[in-house]
Amino acid sequence: MDENAKQRLRGLHRLVHDGVHRGATFVEKHHRQTVARTAKQLAQVEALAAPVAVVQRVVEASITVNYESVRLVNRAVERADGWALERWLKKG
């Protein structure tokens, strides 16, 4: 395999993992905006304001945990398949 092909594979590797990271961040942003918009509307009902605030905090924490988990797993897989890719490229 020539050096140009190796560089393309490395670039594809970076592109895939950057895409997962950016995609998760993009979806997280819009998820948070949807939650905020919904909570704001529901909180206008006086009897719901306090429970909505609690639920919103729980949902926000859940969003944080979930999207950070996606990015964490992506970084771990990126390191593992990056290591495997480099070993494979050295053989070829």
Q: Based on the structure, what is the number of domains in the chain?
A: 1
Q: pLDDT-based confidence at 32, cuts 50/70/90?
A: very high
Q: pLDDT-based confidence at 1, cuts 50/70/90?
A: confident
For 24, other C-beta atoms within 10 Å of its C-beta total 18
- The whole-number pLDDT of residue 65 equals 98
The closest alpha carbon to 9, from 75, 81, 79, 71, belongs to 81
Which range marks the domain in which residue 35 is found?
Answer: 3-91
* Contact between 39 and 52 (Cβ < 8 Å): yes
- The whole-number pLDDT of residue 67 equals 98
- Dump pLDDT digits (tens) for 47-71: 999 999 999 999 999 999 999 999 9
Query: Residue range 13-23: average pLDDT?
Result: 98
**30 pLDDT higher than 90:** yes
Give me 72's structure tokens. Answer: 């964490």
